[in-house]
Amino acid sequence: MEYDDKIRYREEMKLRLRNFFLNLIKLCQSIPYSKESTILAKQLLRSGSSVYANYRAANRARSKAEFFSKLSIVVEEADETEMWLDLLIHSKISNNTETIHLHKESFEILKIMASARKNSKL
């Protein structure tokens, strides 16, 4: 991949992750209130924002080691985000089409980030 293509790809991924997180916010705002839903929504927003924030940080890394480390955090947080969405669906707190769509998107993001980490090994 050429340098310009890498820059374009990283910018597109940043936008994708930002939109994903904004959609997580909308989802959490639509979930009916309960003690359980509040806990799940809080955890979902925490891990979802971490995916976006650490991806941005990875792209500003000063070394390959730092890039790999930040990308590892992205993978971990993406996996956690997928888990919270899975729990929302299977607990029937929120198992509508939007939650299912976000769950699929979270799994795609996880696969992309895990592959990027694997390809960036030191």
* pLDDT, tens only, 16-62: 999 999 999 999 999 999 999 999 999 999 999 999 999 999 999 99
pLDDT for residue 1: 64
Is pLDDT of 3 > 80? no
Phi, psi for 62 (deg, rounded to 5) = -90, -10
Is pLDDT of 2 > 90? no
Is pLDDT of 122 > 60? no
Q: CA–CA separation, 7 vs 12, rounded Å?
A: 9
pTM of the model: 0.93
Q: What is the pLDDT of residues 55-112, one digit of tens each?
A: 999 999 999 999 999 999 999 999 999 999 999 999 999 999 999 999 999 999 999 9
- Where in the sequence is the domain holding 58, given as residue range(s)? 3-119
pLDDT for residue 40: 97
- Tell me how many domains the chain contains: 1
Task: Measure Cα distances from 75 to 18, 33, 80, 96, 109 in Å.
Answer: 16, 29, 9, 25, 9
Would you list the DSSP string of 36-51?
Answer: HHHHHHHHHHHHHHHH
Find, among 55, 49, 59, 102, the residue nearest to 74 by Cα: 55
CATH code of the domain covering residue 28: 1.20.1440.60
- With bands split at pLDDT 50, 70 and 90, how would you rate the model's confidence at 120? confident
